[in-house]
Structure 1
Amino acid sequence: MTTVPAPSTPAAPSPWAMAWRRYRKSRLGVIGGWLLLFLYGLALFSPFLAPYAITTQHEEASYQPPQPVHIVHEGQLRAPFVYGFTQKRDPVTFARKNVEDRENPVPIRLFVRGDEYRFLGIRSNLHLFGVPEGNNFFPLGTDQLGRDLLSRTLVGAQVSLTVGVIGVLISFAIGIVLGGVSGYYGGWTDNLIQRTVEVLLSFPRLPILLALSTLIPAKWPSTWVYLGIVAVLALIGWAGLARVVRGQVLAARGVEYVTAAQAIGARDLRVILRHITPNLSSFLLVTATLALPGYILGESALSFLGLGIKEPMTSWGLLLKDAQNFQTLRLYPWLLIPGLFIFLAVLAFNFFGDALRDAADTQSRG
């Protein structure tokens, strides 16, 4: 007599698999994740993607409007090209105007030689696209000095997007340590740290940012100013996280694995960082993702007000500074394009962070 084997029960999905499944259910979160990958990819390869260096000036192309790409010239299909612009004076106002030259199409070529740059320590002058020497191509137009707005926006992404990442890493390091120490020890240590947190949280964010940014010397080089802005953003960004981490540590310090680590003689800081903090990883990841937009907006606000990134370095906030005049904005609306990148980055981080928060929700039955 043969026995029929019992059907095997499928293995339960791992917590990571369940979290990935919950994340994929958020369409906006997935779109936000892909958009962030795209933006950080642009920032990483910006010297290669940018057709010009950010300091290259074209005096004959001041405030030139964006040049659209065409594929049809005089009724014939052609490879992608653009029409050049020439400057003429208005016979009435004598103001200079950019007039499109439709008789001489300029072909767009891939992998052209141009301004030299350094990428990962390697010098190169190869760019993804460009036009023959003696011609210009400005896909997003130019600023007052004739500098290509696309090149400055792409390179500015390196500053605007990395300020948030580095600032979050610094502020989270401070917040996790101080919040963990506050919740773990309690007593006068807890009172001292929490009173400091309350003082920091009682100040409005923008005024304290402006006050701290004025401490950065104006004579500092651009790299030092960048580090100073990161430090300013990090110094006021750790307080809220420290308060939340304190509550999490208060709840976790009495569980079995913490008691066991203490029983075998583990140091207090090791217990906090190696046993309690890893169990907060999902919470910290979601909090970091949702905090990044604040750092991007903080840097943009400081640079827009002239207290942040300085020339020759560039950022999205610094580029928006050229668009703060209403008359200039009415005449040259393409100067607002860096603001669109800020909007997309902040929106993508919010969508991505919300999706991660739902994915980390272990109580979800979805």
Structure 2
Amino acid sequence: MTPLPPPGAPLEHYVSAAPFDPMSVEAASAELKRVYQASQLRLMWWKFRQHRLAVASAVLLAAFYLMILICEFLAPYNLHTRNMDFIYSPPQRVRLFHEGQFVGPFVYGRTMTLDMETLKREYADDRTDIQRLRFFCRGDAYKFWDVIATDIHLVCPAEGGEMFLLGTDRLGRDVLSRIIYGARISLTIGLVGISVSFLLGIVIGGLAGYHGGVFDLIVQRIIEVIQSLPSIPLWMALAAIMPVTWSPLVIYFGITIILGLLDWTGLARAVRSKLLALREEDYVLAAQLMGANSSRIIGRHLIPGFMSHLIATATISIPGMILGETALSFLGLGLRPPITSWGILLTEARSVSVIAFYPWLLFPMVPVILVILAFNFLGDGLRDAADPYR
């Protein structure tokens, strides 16, 4: 018997699976019945599962967000640990073999010389100094989520040794550890910002689309004004008015609110256009006759009808907020030390001469690019899965 296509495949595949085999036709009918009786969520999952790039992006993002929960454990060094003997040390290569013999994961020790003409530190591997890496080991002390005091790390350098897999910065701080710590801020600011944007977009767009009239006219003019302003100068202006006396935590929430306040317009227009079409449906009239108020009709009957589209839209909007925070921090108007984000790490590479001599300071760009691409691919997959009958 010819094998059947997977669940969620286009219906014509079932028809052409085995046109002359009665057993195949019977099995295909059972599959069609299962498809027609499946819930909307199951149909979306079948459709999303076929988008392999979106599934891979979802796995990558899940790994990133799980990482921020245990970043202290994953980072080899503490966030502010300085190694003054290894300022601007280039990345070290992890090796398994030494002179043809298997040793296990290790790095070579380093010697530093100072070029008296250029005053540049030059590092060279000492092949006689084999420093084996330790796993689930004791290293720099830290407080896990500022609650539990411990010093357990996933990987540590050898006793008395050094391990800088992505190099160090101008203060001798490990770039890899700072990237891992910075992920907690850069990834969460997008989620918090989209929550603000989601709330404003649904409430304002929902009221404008459901009631219409003067309120809808005013909302549309406000949206047009906000969308006509250039984003980056507006971000810079709003970020610049925050007092320098504010604590880093307050600055974090201030930047988040700014990003959310400027990103709700596109979502509000999408909600408004949907509600303009759905408010004429018979079930809306039935809810009105039963005495339901506007908030209940919008929240319980209209919004759930296209929630999948809103989720896809929100997923695509998160990268814009991450880029916004990165840009503001890179320009010195966003988050401020001691808070660390990927944008703050990139401020180390604002000079062309620094990039020319120490290109590894651009490594924080790599997770930014990966996360932005993953969110965009995930949004494409969710957008396709939101309409499984297409």
The verdict on a shared fold, with TM-score over 0.5 as the criterion, is: yes
Select the residue among 143, 152, 159 that pairs with 2:178. Answer: 152
Select the residue among 244, 252, 270 that pairs with 1:218. Answer: 244
Instruction: Give 1:52 deviation, angstroms.
Output: 0.9
What is the RMSD computed on CA atoms of the aligned residues?
1.6
Relative contact order, CA 8 A, sep 6+: which one is greater?
1
Between 78-87 and 19-28, the greater mean CA deviation after superposition: 19-28
Q: Does 1:101 align with 2:109?
A: no
Give SS of 2:364's match. Answer: helix
**1:298-353: per-residue Cα shift (whole Å, max 9, x none)?**
00000110111111111111111111211111111111111011111000111111
Q: Does 1:12 align with 2:34?
A: yes
Q: Does 1:238 align with 2:260?
A: no
The one-letter amino acid of 1:26's match is: H
8 Å contact 2:328–2:334 — kept in the other structure?
yes
Show the counterpart of 1:191. Answer: 217
8 Å contact 2:96–2:102 — kept in the other structure?
yes
Q: For the residues of structure 2 that align with 1:51 and 1:314, how far apart are their CA atoms?
A: 16
Show the counterpart of 1:326. Answer: 352
Runs of 4+ with deviation above 3 angstroms? 91-95
Select the residue among 123, 127, 135 that pairs with 2:149. Answer: 123
Select the residue among 325, 329, 336 that pairs with 1:303. Answer: 329
**1:170-206: per-residue Cα shift (whole Å, max 9, x none)?**
1110110000111111111111111111111110111
Select the residue among 45, 53, 66 that pairs with 2:70. Answer: 45
Instruction: Give 1:91 deviation, angstroms.
Output: 5.7
TM-score norm. by structure 1 comes to: 0.94
Change in Cα spacing, 1:307 to 1:25, as seen in structure 2 (3 Å) is same
Q: For the residues of structure 1 that align with 2:228 and 2:366, how far apart are their CA atoms?
A: 31
Q: For the residues of structure 1 that align with 2:216 and 2:330, how far apart are their CA atoms?
A: 38
Q: For the residues of structure 2 that align with 1:74 and 1:214, how far apart are their CA atoms?
A: 56
The one-letter amino acid of 2:377's match is: F
Show the counterpart of 1:3. Answer: none
Change in Cα spacing, 1:113 to 1:205, as seen in structure 2 (3 Å) is same
Select the residue among 159, 169, 172 that pairs with 1:143. Answer: 169
User: How high is the sequence identity, in percent, across the aligned residues?
Assistant: 46
Q: Does 1:22 align with 2:47?
A: yes
Give SS of 2:243's match. Answer: coil
Give SS of 1:34's match. Answer: helix
Select the residue among 331, 355, 362 that pairs with 2:381. Answer: 355
Q: For the residues of structure 1 that align with 2:116 and 2:318, how far apart are their CA atoms?
A: 51
**1:110-135: per-residue Cα shift (whole Å, max 9, x none)?**
01112222334323211001023322
Show the counterpart of 2:4. Answer: none
Q: For the residues of structure 1 that align with 2:121 and 2:297, how far apart are their CA atoms?
A: 69
Select the residue among 288, 291, 307 that pairs with 1:265. Answer: 291
Instruction: Give 1:77 deviation, angstroms.
Output: 1.4
The one-letter amino acid of 1:12's match is: R
Unaligned runs of 5+ residues in structure 2 are 1-25
Unaligned runs of 5+ residues in structure 1 are 1-6
Q: For the residues of structure 1 that align with 2:65 and 2:272, how far apart are their CA atoms?
A: 33
Q: For the residues of structure 1 that align with 2:116 and 2:184, how far apart are their CA atoms?
A: 43
Show the counterpart of 1:205. Answer: 231
- How many matched pairs? 358
Give SS of 2:295's match. Answer: helix
Show the counterpart of 1:4. Answer: none
Q: Does 1:228 align with 2:254?
A: yes
8 Å contact 2:88–2:121 — kept in the other structure?
no
Between 87-96 and 256-265, the greater mean CA deviation after superposition: 87-96
